[in-house]
């Protein structure tokens, strides 16, 4: 998991354990449940709209400047 839950929001299924059976169950659900897929796609599209490359570039540049002593 790590930060994936925070970044992906409700647009993803995050499995917290390294359990093969849990992964199999969730994979089967994703393959067979079209309502779940639609819900995840919609949530993912809403989540991705919060992230912009120009914001990321600006924030990254700000960190470089701060670390570099400017």
pLDDT tens-place string over residues 28-69: 999 999 999 999 999 999 999 888 999 999 999 999 999 987
pLDDT above 70 for 26: yes
The pTM of this model reads 0.68
**70: helix, coil or strand?**
coil
- Band (pLDDT 50/70/90 cuts) for residue 7 is confident
Tokens of 25: 């169950």
- CA dist 14 and 2 (Å) reads 10
Structure tokens of 29?
């659900």
Please give the pLDDT value at position 53. Answer: 93
């Amino acid at each position: 998991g790590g930060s994936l839950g925070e970044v992906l929001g409700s647009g993803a299924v995050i499995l917290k354990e390294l359990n093969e059976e849990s992964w199999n169950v969730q994979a089967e659900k994703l393959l067979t449940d079209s309502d779940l897929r639609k819900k995840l796609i919609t949530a993912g599209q809403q989540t991705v709209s919060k992230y912009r490359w120009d914001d990321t570039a600006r924030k990254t540049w700000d960190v470089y400047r701060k670390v570099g002593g400017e």
